Amino acid sequence: MEKQLVQLTVNGEEHDVVIRPNQTLVEVLRENLELTGTKEGCGEGACGTCTVLLNGKPVRSCLTLAVEAQGKEIVTIEGLVSNGQLHPVQKAFIEHGAIQCGFCTPAMILTAKALLDESPKPTEEEARWAISGVVCRCTGYAKIVEAIMAAAGE
Amino acid sequence: MHGICQDRGSHHGRSRGVTERENSIMAEHTLVGKRVARIDSLGKATGQARYTADLTLPRMLYGKVLRSPHAHARILHIDTSKAEKLRGVRAIVAGKDTAGERWGVFRYTRDQQLLPVDKVRYIGEDVAAVAAEDEETAMEALELIEVEYEVLPAVFDPLEAMQEGAPRIHDHAENNINIHVPIEVGDVERGFRESYYVREDHFVNSEYTYCQAEPYAIVANYDLAGNLEVWMPNASPHTKAKALSNLLRMPLSKVKVRNVYTGGAFGGRSDIFPGEFIAALLSMKAGRPVRLVYTREESFTGVRQAHSMIVDLKTGVTRDGTFLANEIKVVMDGGAYSSTGPIATSVPFLVWEETYRLPNVRFNGYRVYTNKPIRGMYRCHGRAFLGGLGMQLDMIAEELGIDPVEMRLRNALKTGDTQATGSKIISCGLSEAIQQAAEKSGWQEKRGKLPYGKGIGIGANGMMVGFPMGIRGGSSAMIKFNEDGGATLISGVVDNGQGNDSMVVQVAADVLGLRMEDINLVSGDSEITPLDQGAYSQTAAFVSANAVKAAAIDAKEQILDIASDMLDAMVEELDIKEGQVFVKVRPERNVWLGKVIRTALLQDTPIMGRGSYIPRIDQKREWVSNPKGQHAGTFSFGAVVAEVEVDTETGQVRVTQVTGAHDCGFAINPMAVEGQLEGSVASGGVGATLLEEHYWDGGQMLNANMLEYKVPLSVDMPQITPIIVESVDPEGPFGAKEAGLWGSMNMFQAIGNAIYDAIGVWIKDFPITPDKVLKALEENKDS
Amino acid sequence: MRLPKLEHFQPESLDQALELLGEHSEQAKIIAGGTELLVSMKQGLLAPAYLVNLKEIPELSVIAHDDEKGLRIGALTKLAALIESQVIRENFPILAQAANQVAAPPLQQMGTLGGNLCLNTRCFFYNQSRFWRQARPPCYKTGGEVCHVVKGGNRCYAVYQGDMAPALMALEATARIAKKGGDRVIPLGDLYTGKGEKPLALEPDEILVEVQVPQSAMEGGGDYRKLRYRGAMDFPLVGVAAVLANDGSGMCSKAAVALTAVGMAPVLVEEAGKLLQGQRVTDDLVAHAADAAHEAARPVANIGSTHSYRRKMVRVLTKRAIENAWGRE
């Protein structure tokens, strides 16, 4: 199996990375690019902690081959802070106590951001549906939904 | 002179309770009791927070574990020679590389060799492990290890395991009984004789899994000086360090379990696991750091699970519904080793005696070995048990024509009561919690009055705070100051996501009149931080924060002492706010804290706060041999009302509303307390009561993954109204007790009872999945 | 979790893709959304040496509709695109409804129509890691000689759990299958063999490229009911699609009922369709049709819940699907 050189655009930056074709995007992000904010909670697409935005849409990076991500805009949690400023969703999560153990937090925040980018004033039901693919074991989702609605209100 | 503290030289620090003097020293609250953002939220929100699998060390190797495919087998021979030859393999370990020590949480439960030498007792048990240059090589190496087994007959059901002739899993355990806890109080026979009404019921509860978001992982680094540094998600670095020190025969000072973010615990990260032992051995053998990351499947079956329970209850009451006699038998499936067996087997009873007055009670708890993965504590055990008793309470209430809320109030413990096995209650908001939950949920208007298919039910619980853990039951804390007025708090407190780190900083900052961002925290590190019980027995607030508060008060005393000279005032006249020490009646007379720190340094009395706390319990109390006496420092209480909608054609139950009241003593950070309540509505309520269960085929779990093990999702959740009840405990810091265990204890009853209100059937088999509801409806129609 | 070694191709046209498949045949697999294939590969269930990625072939994700030819959907159309498509929502809403019940939004973003139609059959004893499966003798589906679910069983009972198939079968859909050298068009139902161990009637060098729905199929209302314990993510424990057309006078002119998750293939319940056709839709008739669906369902205990409960739910969901479909007319 030959290694290949690929170009990945992550958080607005271009990276030349030498990878194997059997590496998933989550592996390459975490191991090659040391962006450990994206997690691997199950490796099977069932938990959502590997969520990244691919061309603005939340996807499971554990089920995306790194080679496929070429030519696409990849956004990870590390890409949300801009000029030292937190994204409104990040602020809302912090202010509303929506973060406990934090392991699902990057996935939740990215999913929320993608939702609000597309649908700036979602209903609570829409917000719940948008995050229905990410498992949280700590919060019962209550303050996460609250934070999303608060960020939408801004 | 000015200071009251005479003996500066040998300052012992504060401990225990709040004295009058302390009251006068303390300012009104600037932080405690307020909704504050947690100190760890920023790191987690930005991806900067690093969990164990995110850590890398130079020249790190990757570990993988070879696991037993047999539920019960003798290990005849392990041949690692082929694997050793594989390019990239740097170390291999198996039972023969160990000292053969058996581990046990208690001295009398030492039944597990973390890398077995003689036998494997469950599918998935660790048999050997490899460290290699990369994960793929490690996985390939596992394939090359040859293990010869002699397969033995296995047993998977606890009742079967207790029968004569069942395969013997441990030589020392007859009938595979791991632990038997017998408790007897009063005269049970007489109690039943005098009862107006007696009923017997049988309840069953599946086992569960923590399914924390973060899979298990360990990084271990052993250096040539004999230091072992370890990182792993854990609930107590001191407990892990002690265990490793025993198993590796190293002094405690050489075993350094470091602080690292933990992605959820819920009781599943508590005692020692083979993983850390293996990672340490690999690192020692290879002379390089080793990272071992579990797959999700391994996290389900290779760490801990939660017990299944079979519960038989016989309860006798007076005409007005007061308990007269209770006889309780619980059989728990403990899996292959004992873990926290004695605690596990006792808690199901204790949480009951912590809620209601039980004048005459007999309990027999059995923890039984089976050839299944090991069962540990799940948010304190006992939920199904409480679910059973909580539902039986309603059945009795119905028979007697008493409202379930009233029934609970009649039996509820109160401040000053003594529990069945002798624990005194120093603060109790149970009745208040029940009443508030009932009122806020509209109980009176709804109970028995909702249309068919809709129902409302109540559950209540008591919860121990600070139980016997010997020398490990207490916490101490220290605070040091920088010359620019900032401080560093050193505490053994452990944060698994509950907000404990932030809580202690909030407490220290409040006492010291500083902002939270002025105080750094070094926590949960077995080398650096003093002994602390960890996130166990619900003690982060009651014990760890108490110690921190004491340390902060101690520091403040020292500061005011020095400042009193500088400001020419009495200590009682001074206070600290926003980093300024000032005269209360004349705030323009003030001095910057940094200056006080410097002055203290020059005077050779540097400011160092010290404090400690250990719960006032009967240290002679023992889970099995002496289950009597003061069991815990205090108790928290809660009540929850749940509303459900049942689709009577499909049997699907939807929880629509939850109104929950928790007597946490005092909410140091109300937002964090709410977060705990809401979280447990998901895991203890919707999850454990309706969705979560294990499917087994022999010794194999069929659904050890996050698609088929049904953890509630955002769309499965009800509206939640949390209510905080504050009974202001006399011992707890600012009156605080605990806030993490609530829904896990009472939601079973609330939902089970609500289902009865909705469709008139009692379902005593948890989780209450739609097929069971349908079956109950069909049977009800026939009868 | 790691993937086995593989070589990855990203053809830019269907012809290129077919060429590659023709060349590598048994050693190659196509990858669309990857949400099933990559999981299977991580578990060691499949280990194709070559992956032929279809994502960069735009012609495969077209949704086209005209009043004569009806609807054509490319197999690589994302489920999310089906949900959002104006054309689908207006003309064939049951398809958007079914697509919206697959998993959850991020998986709808990755998963494709073709991928969902070509889902491998599933079973607790099959969808497991290599370590897990090594603890027992291999089953029929993995090349062995035993079924772990039906003790003594002589065949594989792995369950087909796709959500889109019953909806499309109820719409009389056909499928175009391409291979180097020519296409063939078959009724969608013929794509399924009914064999648990090899559920799809596709050669290794063939690709499902398109699904067509005749315009006439959607004269009526449709409904897809899915039973799952959680409100998202889960595969169906039972799924029922019903399409009913009203002749204008309150009589059902045409009806179709199809099931999923009740056997080794999706099932078109012809009996139910016959019962309803040309009749007034009364409660009694609906109950009969639901009985027919119940008859056609043969679940076993291999995917969770209990098979007896799931079988009962076929009746309940069929009744509801028919009533809703009729109500939407």
Q: Which residues contact B320 (CB under 8 A, 6 or more apart)?
A: B400, B402, B410
pLDDT at B24 over 70: no
Give percent above pLDDT 90 in chain B.
Answer: 87
Q: Is residue B18 very low, low, confident or very high in pLDDT (cuts 50, 70, 90)? A: very low
Instruction: Verify whether the Cβ–Cβ distance A44 to C1 is below 8 Å.
Output: yes
Beta-carbon contacts of C36 under 8 Å, excluding residues fewer than 6 positions away, are: C115, C119, C120
- Are residues B249 and B321 located together in one domain of the fold? no
Helix (H) or strand (E) holding B562: helix B546-567
Tens digit of each residue's pLDDT (9 = 90 or more) over C238-253? 999 999 999 888 899 9
Tell me which chains share at least 3 CB pairs under 8 Å with chain C.
A, B
**Distance in angstroms (rounded) separating the CA atoms of residues B693 and B34:** 38
Integer Cα distance of B552 and B557 in angstroms: 9
Q: Which of B46, B136, B234, B662 would best serve as a mutation to test chain A binding (most A beta carbons within 10 A)?
A: B46
Q: How far apart are CA A97 and CA B674, in angstroms?
A: 9
Let me know whether C169 and C299 are in one domain.
no
Q: Which of C188, C181, C119, C196 minimizes the C-alpha distance to C150?
A: C196
Q: What is the pLDDT of residues B427-483, one digit of tens each?
A: 999 999 999 999 999 999 999 999 999 999 999 999 999 887 888 889 999 999 999
Q: What pLDDT is stored for residue B8 in this prediction?
A: 32
By C-alpha distance, the chain A residue nearest C1 is: A43
Buried b (16+ CB within 10 A) or exposed e, C265-302: bbbbbebbbebbeeeebeeebbebbbbbbbebbebbbb
């009984």: which residue's tokens? B177
Residues B393/B407, Cβ–Cβ less than 8 Å: yes
Residues of A in contact with B496 (CB under 8 A): 101
How much is the pLDDT for C80? 98
Q: Which pLDDT value is given to residue C329?
A: 64
Residue A107 host element (H or E): helix A105-118
Cis, bond preceding C299 (omega within 30 deg of 0): no
> What's the confidence (pLDDT) of residue B270?
87
Based on the fold, state whether residues B557 and B583 are members of the same structural domain: yes
Q: Among residues B392, B462, B503, which one has the least CA distance to residue B733? A: B503
Quick one: B240 and B344 in the same domain? no
How high is the pLDDT of residue B23? Answer: 53
Residues B416, B377 within the same domain? yes
Q: How far apart are CA B201 and CA B385, in angstroms?
A: 12
The set of chains that have 3 or more CB pairs under 8 A with A is B, C
- B19 and B68 in one domain? no
Q: Does B117 touch chain C (CB under 8 A)?
A: no
B51 vs A contacts (CB less than 8 Å): 39, 103
Q: Are residues C212 and C313 in the same domain?
A: no
B446: number of Cβ within 10 Å: 18
pLDDT value of position B112? 95
* Closest CB from B295, B702, B716 relative to C230: B716
Residue B579 and residue B676 in one domain: no
Which amino acid appears at position C296 of this protein?
A
Residue B4 has pLDDT above 50, yes or no: no
Whether C95 and C191 share a structural domain: yes
CA–CA min distance A75, chain B (Å): 12
Strands (E), B540-652: 574-577, 580-583, 586-592, 608-613, 634-646
Q: Kindly state whether residues C84 and C188 are assigned to the same domain.
A: yes
To the nearest whole Å, the CA of B678 is away from the closest chain A CA by 5
Q: Which of B67, B295, B702 sits opposite C124 (nearest CB)?
A: B702
What integer pLDDT is reported at residue B382 of this predicted model? 65
What is residue B152's three-state secondary structure? coil
B497 in the same domain as B464: no
Largest CA distance in chain B: 88
d(CA A119, CA B124): 46
Structure confidence at residue B387 (pLDDT) = 77
Q: Is the same domain home to C72 and C210?
A: yes
Please list, residue by residue across B630-646, b when 16 or more beta carbons sit within 10 angstroms of its beta carbon and e when fewer do: bbbbbbbbbbbbbbbbb
One domain, residues B433 and B490:
no
Pick the range with the lowest mean pLDDT from A112-121, B26-35, B295-304.
B26-35
Same domain, B127 and B242: yes
Q: What residues in B contact A145, CB-CB < 8 Å?
A: 714
Tell me phi and psi for residue B14, to 5 degrees. -95, 150
Contact between residue B654 and residue B759 where contact means Cβ atoms under 8 Å apart = no
Q: Does B198 map to a domain? A: no
Q: What is the mean pLDDT of residues B420-424?
A: 95
State whether B139 and C135 contact (CB < 8 Å).
Answer: no
Is pLDDT at B17 greater than 90 in this prediction? no
Q: How many domains does chain B have?
A: 3
Q: Which of A65, A104, A145 to mutate to test the interface with C (most CBs of C within 10 A)?
A: A65
User: In the predicted model, what is the mean pLDDT of chain A?
Assistant: 97
Is residue C153 in a domain? no
**Cβ contacts (< 8 Å) between B716 and chain C: which residues?**
230-231
Average pLDDT over residues B345-359: 92
Q: How many structural domains are present in chain C?
A: 3
Task: Evaluate whether residue C185 is within a structural domain.
Answer: yes
Residues of chain C with pLDDT under 70: 329
Place of tokens 């969770």: C304
Would you call C125 and B697 a contact, using CB atoms and an 8 Å cutoff? Answer: yes
Q: Looking at the structure, tell me whether residues C15 and C92 fall in a common domain.
A: no
Structural domain of C192:
63-118+159-216
Say whether pLDDT at A152 is over 80.
yes
Distance (Å, whole) CA B174 – CA B172: 6
B69 → closest Cβ in C104, C134, C233: C134
Q: Which domains does chain A have, with CATH numbers?
A: 4-77 (3.10.20.30), 88-153 (1.10.150.120)
Confidence of residue B231 (pLDDT cuts 50, 70, 90): very high
Give the pLDDT confidence of B354-381 residue by residue, as tens digits: 999 999 999 999 999 999 999 998 877 7
B527 and B433 within one domain:
no
Residues B593, B507, B548: CA angle, nearest 5 degrees:
90
Looking at the structure, tell me whether residues C77 and C202 fall in a common domain: yes
- Compute the average pLDDT of residues B74-93: 98
Q: Is B432 helix (H, G, I), strand (E, B) or coil?
A: helix
Residues in B touching A104 (Cβ below 8 Å): 213
Chain A nearest-CA residue for C100: A129
List, for residues B550-601, the tens digit of each pLDDT value: 999 999 999 999 999 999 999 999 999 999 999 999 999 999 999 999 999 9
Tell me the pLDDT tens digit for each residue of A24-58: 999 999 999 999 999 999 999 999 999 999 999 99
Please report, for chain B, how many H helices and E strands are present, in that order: 20, 32
Asked if A137 and B40 come within 8 Å (Cβ–Cβ), the reply is no
In the prediction, which pLDDT does B11 show?
Answer: 32
Calculate how close chain A gets to B262, using CA atoms only, in Å: 6
Nearest CA in chain A to B717: A140
Asked whether residue B9 carries a pLDDT value surpassing 80, the answer given is no
Nearest to C6 among A21, A40, A51 (CB): A21
| Residues B403, B272 within the same domain | no
Does C1 sit within 8 Å of B704, measured CB to CB? no
Joined together, the tokens standing for residue B737 give 């007790």
Q: Are residues B656 and B777 in the same domain?
A: yes
Mutation test of the interface with chain A: which of C54, C107, C229, C234, choosing the one with the most A Cβ atoms within 10 A? Answer: C107
Among the three residues B569, B587, B613, which one is the final residue of a domain in this structure? B613
Query: Burial letters for B664-675: b for 16+ Cβ neighbours within 10 Å, e otherwise?
Result: bbbbbbbbbbbb
- DSSP conformation class of B531: P
Decide: helix, strand or coil at residue B589: strand
The answer on C208 and C238 residing in a single domain is no
User: What CATH number has the domain bearing residue B232?
Assistant: 3.90.1170.50
Interacting residues of B451 by C-beta distance below 8 A, sequence separation 6+:
none
| Res. B745: pLDDT tops 90 | no
Q: Which tokens is B670 given? A: 């109300």
| Contact status, residue B746 vs residue B457, Cβ threshold 8 Å | no
The answer to whether the CB atoms of A40 and B53 lie below 8 A apart is yes
Domain boundary among B585, B613, B641: B613
Which of B226-240, B611-625, B692-706 has the least mean pLDDT?
Answer: B611-625
Identify the burial level of B187 via C-beta atoms within 10 angstroms of its C-beta, where 0-12 means exposed, 13-18 middle and 19 or more buried: middle
- The domain that contains B630 carries what CATH number? 3.30.365.10
Is the Cβ pair A1, C6 closer than 8 Å?
Answer: yes
Task: Answer whether A106 sits within 8 Å of B47, measured CB to CB.
Answer: yes
- Residue numbers of the domain that contains B498: 14-30+471-613
* pLDDT tens track for B625-675: 999 999 999 999 999 999 999 999 999 999 999 999 999 999 999 999 999
Asked whether the beta carbons of B284 and B295 are under 8 A apart, the reply is no
Residues 65 through 94 of chain B touching chain C, CB cutoff 8 Å: 67, 69-70
Q: Tell me the C-alpha distance between B302 and B234, whole Å.
A: 15
Return the axis-axis angle of helices B743-759 and B770-782, rounded to nearest 10°: 40
**pTM of this prediction?**
0.96
